Every structure is written in C-alpha cells, then in structure tokens.
Chains A and B, each alone.
Chain A
Amino acid sequence: MILGVDGDDALVQQLEASGLWCGVAIERLATAPFGDPLLFRVHGYRLALRQSEAARVRVRETGA
C-alpha cells in the first residue's frame, strides 16, 4: 500500500497523475533484465518505473 510520494517536483506531479496516491494498493509484477526498471500494477493497470522513481514512493508491506 502506498503511504506517500516524496518531493515536490514535476516527477511527483507525474507520479500522482499516474495514480500513485496515498492508500492505493500497489503490486510489483516484474523486473527488467539487469534490475531496472520495475513493473507495477496499480489501479488495475501496469506502470513501469525506474528504481530512482520508485524510490520516491513510500510503501507499506501488506502481504497478499
């Protein structure tokens, strides 16, 4: 579950426009070869983020 997105730059706006909001469930689906970028499922769709971008998103493990 997403707890929040850190920072106040354009990236944060973009992440929020993509649906990374507080309290939303997010699930990691896949990792690209060599470990970056990462693929997530949020709001039922697939979103790719780089490690550096994903690091901005604070999450809490919920275990599903």
Chain B
Amino acid sequence: MSAVASPSRRVALVGRANAGKTSLLMHLTGSLQRPVNFPGSSVECVESDVVEQGVVLRIIDLPGLGSLSPQSRDESVALALLDGRDEAPPDLLCVVLDASKLAVELRLLQQLRARQRTIVVALCKVDVAAAEGFPVDAARLQAALGLPLVVVNGATGAGVATLRALLATAPLVAPPAMATDAGAEAVASVHRDGAAPQSRTDRIDAWLLHPVFGLLALVLLGVLMFQLLFTVATPVMESIESVQQWIGDGVRSLVGPGALQSFLVDGVVNGVGSSLVFVPQIALLIAFVTCVEASGYMARAVFLLDLLLRKVGLSGRSFVPLTSSFACAIPGIVASRILGNEQDRLATIAVAPLMSCSARLPVYVVLLAAFFPPHQAGLVLFGLYGLGIVMAALVATLLRKTVLRGVSSPLVMELPVYQRPRVRLVLAHTWLAVKAFLRTAGSVILVATVVVWALGYFPHPSAIHERYEAQRAVHGQDADGERARAALDGAEAAAYLEQSLLARAGRTIQPVFAPAGFDWRLTVGVLAAFPARELVVPTLGTLYSLGEVEVGDEPDVRLRDALRTATGPDGKPTIDGLVALAVMAFFALCSQCVGTLAAIRRETNSWRWPVFTFVYMTILAWVVAVAIYQVGRWLGYGA
C-alpha cells in the first residue's frame, strides 16, 4: 500500500443493514447521492468525493452486509467490491457499528479484520442502546478493540467531523491481530448485566403487533396513504396540467397550424406533461414510504403480513414493492430489490404491475361516471382494485409452482427501534426518486407519446381540411356561427384521426376485441394506451368527435356524455355499462406502460421478464374482458 502519501483515498463504508450507514453518508458527504428509493436497496455502489485536509476521500457506499457469506444480491455486490474483484480494493474500511446490538456487529468486525485492511470504526445509535437498556462505554470498547473509533450520531451529525478527519489522516496499516474471543470480552466490558427493562419500543409494539389492533392499524395506515395520494396530489396534478395547457396554447400561438404545431403541442408538450403529471404522486408516495421505513414500522408491516403473502408464493417483504405499485409500478419494481431471494423478487416484479396504479384511475373515473350511478361506482372501483390483487395472487402462486419453483427465502429480519423520521433524509430520498423517474420513465414515455402522435396524425390528407373549410365558410360571424365552427373543428380533428394509421390499425385489430364488445374506436383507444395508459382519455375524446380533449379542463363531463350517446352504424349505442366494465377490467389487468417494462428490463437485466410480463398481462386482460362481456350478455345484460 503506497497510498500514505497519495492525495486521494478510497474509503468503503461497510456495515450491516440498518446500522445507520445512510444517515452517516449523508453527513459525511453533505448530500445523499444514492439512487435508491428505500434504505437497504442500493445495489449499485455509488462513490462520492469529499475533500478533507487536502486529501480527497472517495467514499464508496456498500450495500448492507449480514456476514461475509453473501445471502442476497446486495451482499454479493458489497463483497465483490470489498475484495477488489473488479477493480482495486478500497484503501480504508469505515466499519459502521450499531451500538444497540454490539455483540452481533462485532462478529462482522472480526471477519473484516481478518482481511488485513485498515479499519476505522464509526459507532452509531449509542443513544438507542442506552434507551433499550444496554448503554455502551465507547472508550472501553475502543481500548478492547485496539482500533480507531469515533462515536457518531446519525440524527444530529455529531462526531462526523472527527470521523472525516480520522479517515483522512489515519495511517494505512493493517489492524493488530486479535484473539477471536476478544470481541466477546469487549462486549462484556461495555454491557451492563441484567434483563432489559420495557423500552418505549416494547410499549408501542404491544399495540402495533397486537393480533387485532396491529392489523387494524395497518389497514388504517393503508387508507391514510391512499387518502394522501388522492387528496393531496390531485390539486398539484391539476395545476401541472393547466401549466401544460398554458404552454401548449403558447406554442400554438407561436407556431402556425400544421404538422410542426401538432408535433410540438400534441406530441412533445403532452408527452412531457403526461409523465410530469405523475411526479406529485410519486414524490408523495416515496416520502410516505420513507417515513414509514425510517420510523421502523415497515418491518412491522412485513411481520404482520408475512404469512398471508407467503400463502400466495410471495414473501412478507413483497409488501413494500406491492404497496408502492398502487401509486406507480416503477418505484415498486425498483423497491423489490429488498427481497433476498431471487425467486421471490422475480415473482414480485412480475405481479407488481397488476396493482391498479394511479394512471388507471382517470380511465376508471371517466367510464364509471358515464355508465354507473354514484352508489355503484364506488363498489365497482373497489372491485377493480380487488381484481388486480386477486389476479396477482393467482399469477404469483402459479409462477412459484412452475418457472420460479424453489423455497421461499427465510425471513430473518430485524425489527428496528421506533424513531422519528428525519426530514432531511425523507426529502433527499424523495428527490432522488423523482430525479430517477424523470430521467428514465420520462424519456421513454416522451418517445412513446411522439410515436402514438405520429400514428394518429399521418397521413393527414389536405382534402379533409378543404372540405371542412368550405363548411365553415357557410356560417356567419355571430355566436351561433362560432359554436357551429367549433363543432366543425372537432369533427375535423375526428375525421383526421379516423383515417390515420392508428385508426386503420384499430379497424384491422378490432375483430380481436369484438368478443369483448369493443368497437373500433375503443380498440384504437386501447392501442394508443399501450405506451402509456394516460394516453387513452385524450384519444377517446378525439375519436368520439369532441375535438381536442384536455384532461382536467372539465373535459370529463363532455367526454362522459359523448361516450354515453355514441352510436354505431346500426344506430344502437356502442358502449353500455357492460362494455364499460369490460374496458375497465381490460385496463386493470393489461400492461400498458412502457416505463414499467423498461424498469423490469433494468431490474432483471434481461428481456425475458418484460416480454413475459407484457404477454401474460395482455392475454389475461383480454380473457377477463371477453369473459365479462360474454357472461354478461348471456345473463341478459347489455344490448
């Protein structure tokens, strides 16, 4: 090791999961730079630089380790880096120890020591240890270990400056040899004897892990999350939509009508807007989940639900990704990294998109309002969410019995002490998740929107324009004439769409959806929604001859009426309650989101799983939609 005089040092931050590495890293580097959604889910190791006393400290954040034999993907990554399998090993190990379970932590320290690498110990959660009835004497621990040791506080950042200085200046020498039982002596020397008294966490757990009250609290928490997502995020989403419309109008006034205007407004602005609109919900969800996780409750939820989820071939830990998927499957799929067992993880990823995400809600709302009285609408909505959950359970069971056979991963899980979530950590996690969403899903959705726009725009023959221009000229300049012209504008837009490539494709494919009762316009809507579900409402609006329909601008009322009164060539209404139900079931189960498939591709590192997910969900959606329509007809409902 010639790095003593080197101006830079590579420091690996090593520790067990939950030891407090994330908070420590945030204080060490001044910012949280991990591209993660949840603590304990960082598979990629991110390096961040910080300069201390003229030395560049390159801090590598390793995923949490349980021991030096890898159990999960996270641990394999950490070990490969620690041993320098792909690149040079780190110069220095900063071992993060959790004072509240020192005996276990010291076992890992002993194993790391044997690797003959310079070690600096950061002792975290000394306050937790004291509160739990096991106070730690840091000075005596340091003496027993014979290693440089700093007490740090993850909440306040106290001691971090000292630690940083130590990391920059500590001589790079292997730790002194030590008998294996010295760790135990060290623990004995710092632990007071006697049983632990009832701590605050024990008192809270008596309620939250109670067989009845515990489950009740869990349900309440779920309800609270949904309420938050729908009540808090909706106004923000609406204001994003109005900004989007304002920008669209601005572009319209700058660029004359034609292909360029349509491309900019309908393609680019709508494409960017339709992904931006999900930012409030994703941010809220991540903030909420980070709070629940940081408070220590998430592990309790896993504990309460483990048996139930195991019955359907998943694991208690699947609870986190599946819950997230109700807002958006993309963060949910990323969160499935916390599953130790690969079979559990893949099964969870494959069924996560069946949870009814927030992008499906606008479709449900429009159709429910058009075809169901309010007292039935709520029930149907509940049924649609239930449909996704039941199907997820069936698919997961089936997968675990066939391609993903194998034993469930063991649930050896720590239930941490309850803590108040730290605002800074929550904000940092939320910002990282939003940034990742904007970068990946945003670009994919944008490209997909532009493709759908092009298919719906071209060939755009000028004959249609001339025909409508002639009709417009007939009407006078008074208010009646204005209204008539506006109606003609809408009809013109519909006429263009009707002869577009998208509509031709819709008519070609319509026989496939005929058994589900879809007419060619619904078929086009379904096709247009494949890149992203949020495209369906504007597409249906145009198809049912309303002209441009903007979501959020009281359009739902107009679209609702148009859907209700639309008639086919035979004069009979094309959509009734039964068809609406089939459409909604189709949307509930179908994989219509390029962003989700991209996330699955990234997380499974193969094309097999996104292709499989897309195929099975589309077939499942079709089968269920057809079944609903055919059974409904047989029972005498519908036309």
Contacts and interface: CB of A to CB of B under 8 A. Distances in A.
Given A37-B307, A47-B414, A17 B205 contact: no
B104 A30 contact: no
Contacts of A15: 412
Interface stretch (B229-237, B280-288, B298-306): B298-306
Interface string B299-317: 1001110111000000010
B196 interface: yes
A47 B69 contact: no
Contact of A44 (B107, B129, B303): B129
A57 to B, nearest CB: 11
Contacts of B132: 44-45
B109 to A, nearest CB: 12
Contact of B211 (A16, A33, A47, A48): A33
Interface residues of B, number: 40
Contacts of B316: 37
Interface in B305-351: 306-308, 316
A47 B215 contact: no
A60 interface: no
Nearest to A53: B410
Contact of A32 (B66, B134, B209, B410): B209
Contacts of A39: 205, 209, 303, 415
A37 B195 contact: no
Nearest to A18: B412
Q: Say which size band chain A's interface belongs to.
A: 20 to 34
A10 to B, nearest CB: 6
B411 A43 contact: no
26 contacts: A10-B69, A11-B412, A13-B71, A14-B66, A15-B412, A17-B104, A18-B414, A19-B107, A32-B306, A32-B307, A33-B212, A33-B214, A37-B303, A44-B129, A44-B132, A44-B134, A45-B100, A45-B132, A48-B299, A48-B302, A48-B306, A48-B413, A48-B415, A50-B306, A50-B411, A53-B412
Interface of B: 66-67, 69, 71, 100-104, 107-108, 129, 132-134, 195-196, 201-202, 205, 209, 211-212, 214-215, 299, 302-304, 306-308, 316, 410-416
A18 B411 CA distance: 12
B101 A13 contact: no
B196 A41 contact: yes
A43 B106 CA distance: 12
A3 interface: no
B221 to A, nearest CB: 15
A47 B412 contact: yes
A14 to B, nearest CB: 5
Given A14-B67, A19-B103, A29-B205, 5 more contacts: A17-B108, A35-B307, A44-B196, A46-B416, A53-B411
B104 A45 contact: yes
Contacts of B302: 48
A32 B316 CA distance: 12
Contact of A47 (B134, B205, B307, B415): B415
A53 B304 CA distance: 17
Contacts of A49: 410-412
A18 B129 contact: no
Contacts of A32: 209, 211, 303-304, 306-307
A6 interface: no
- 5 A-B pairs with least C-beta separation: A17-B67, A19-B104, A45-B101, A46-B415, A33-B211
A14 B306 contact: no
A43 B103 contact: yes
Interface string A1-29: 00000000011011111110000100001
A29 B414 CA distance: 13
Contacts of A50: 306, 410-411
Contacts of B214: 33
